[in-house]
Amino acid sequence: MTTAAPAGIRFHHGSPAVSAEAVHTTPLGYDRDDIPIGAPLPLAASTELVHRLSGCGEIVVAFEGKLGDTLLALSGMRAVLDWLRLRSVHVAVRVAGPYAELIARTGLIPRPQTTTPSGWQAVLGDRAGVEAQGSTAAVSLVLDPAAPPCWSTDGRAHPDLPARHYLAMERRLGIRLPATAPFAPTLATGPNNLVEELRSVGWLGDLDIAAITATSWPERKDYTAQRYVALAEHIAEAHQAQARLLLIGGDPGDGLRITAEAPRRHVQVLSLDGMPADHLADLFPHCHLIVGNDTGLTHLAAMARGRECSGPPTIGLYARHSHSKWRTGLPHHHAVATDLSDRMHQGDLCPVRDAIAPDTDVHMDAFPPTALAQVGLELLDRVRP
């Protein structure tokens, strides 16, 4: 579902049903709903890929690049592991690189085997991670976010990157795999000392909002702390309650830094800079609303789920890039997007890859805090008792 929002921006609900006729897509080549799980596809599999994976004794999962690209590519890992299970190919799976703890939270990795792997080694990950493993593998699978197109099947488009990676791998492996939309795995959470400390001093109670300020492109993607504070103030006034705002920043270079600002009339503000991603995964499900730019920590917030897959609605802000491609596809991961972002979505375009200069210089100021507050209030009203 897509609805109009104030100030010329649009709100897009999570897991929208996008018609294949409405956007630029590539036909998948078969109707998934008509093919039983495990049955051959009406397309030729990659014979060499199937041969080498069938003879593997170990899969090394290796991601070294951006957090967001990694999280959105984990569905490709899921596809390979689903295929191995369907084919009854038993392999050891080892995770290398800085995201090993996060990847373990997906629950997709089998328990470590005590026996030494026998057979070939396969490496799966991003280009930097695959190259870091050297050239001894029998097969390397690079999950590049620029590679898979927006697939369409059964009259529906699958624009989000997790769907693109999973379906691209399914086509190459040649059998109908078991997953259906949403294809992104979720990240399990657990007890965390910082979460308990925050709770002990009154946080994580009635109206806690997490806002992502970290970004690799601050001149284009930083919504700014001031705008987030204004957003929280509007929500607090509407609820006639005190809001608590967690500003989640990047690594300042000297580790974790926690800074409390002087209380405002309606909002308390706490800045968390340099908090490790796996700790943030434990924190996010305890919030009530999460807002962030199109960046890895926002994707992380959407994928981190507490008990019984519970967690808050997450809103991504998309000024320039496609709001559909750069999302998890999970039903609670929403988007607020500009007209330019909508056009990138419709044409499956990228302003960087395709060198598309915008008609106007579009930045985060396209999203007034009052407009975002209205979207946030609507989402909060759906999940709050």
> pLDDT tens-digit profile of 21-78?
999 999 999 999 999 999 999 999 999 999 999 999 999 999 999 999 999 999 999 9
The predicted structure's pLDDT at residue 264 = 84
Cα gap 124→144, rounded to integer Å: 11
Q: Are 189 and 281 in contact (CB under 8 A)?
A: yes
pLDDT, position 356: 84
pLDDT top residue among 252 and 107: 107
Over residues 62-99, the pLDDT tens digits come to: 999 999 999 999 999 999 999 999 999 989 999 999 99
pLDDT of residue 77: 97
- % residues pLDDT > 90 (the chain): 77
Residues 6+ apart with CB under 8 A from 77: 61, 103, 108, 124, 143
At 133-173, the pLDDT tens digits run: 988 899 999 999 999 999 999 999 999 999 999 999 999 99
Measure the CA–CA gap between 284 and 297, rounded to whole angstroms: 10
CB atoms within 10 A of CB 101: 14
**pLDDT at residue number 134:** 86
- Show the domains of the chain with their CATH numbers: 2-15+191-383 (3.40.50.2000), 31-185 (no CATH)
The per-residue DSSP string of 55-115 comes to: TEEEEEEE--S-HHHHHHHHHHHHHHHHHHHHTT---EEEEESTTHHHHHTTS-SPPPPSS
Count CB-CB contacts under 10 A for residue 64.
Answer: 18
What is the predicted pLDDT for the residue at 214? 82
Using DSSP's 3-state secondary structure scheme, residue 226 falls into helix
How many angstroms separate the Cα of 69 from the Cα of each of 247, 287, 295?
Answer: 22, 24, 9
- The rounded distance, in Å, linking the Cα atoms of 328 and 295 is 12
The whole-model pTM stands at: 0.94
Give me the DSSP letters along 8-32: G-EEE-SS---BTTTS--EE-SS-G
Q: Which residue matches tokens 């970004």? A: 215
List, in order, residues 6 or more apart from 76 with CB less than 8 Å away.
124, 141, 143, 165, 166, 168, 169
- pLDDT tier for residue 4 given thresholds of 50, 70 and 90: very low
pLDDT digits (tens, 9 = 90+) for 347-367: 999 988 888 877 666 678 889
CA distances from 345 to 277, 302, 320, 324 (A): 28, 20, 10, 6
Measured between alpha carbons, how far is 349 from 229 in angstroms, rounded to an integer? 33
**Cα 256 from Cα 230, distance rounded (Å):** 25
In this predicted structure, what is the pLDDT of residue 312? 94
Question: 313-351: per-residue pLDDT in tens?
Answer: 999 999 989 999 999 999 999 999 999 999 999 999 998
User: Rounded to an integer, what distance in angstroms lies between the CA atom of residue 190 and that of residue 173?
Assistant: 35
Mean pLDDT of the chain: 91
Helix (H) or strand (E) holding 340: helix 339-347
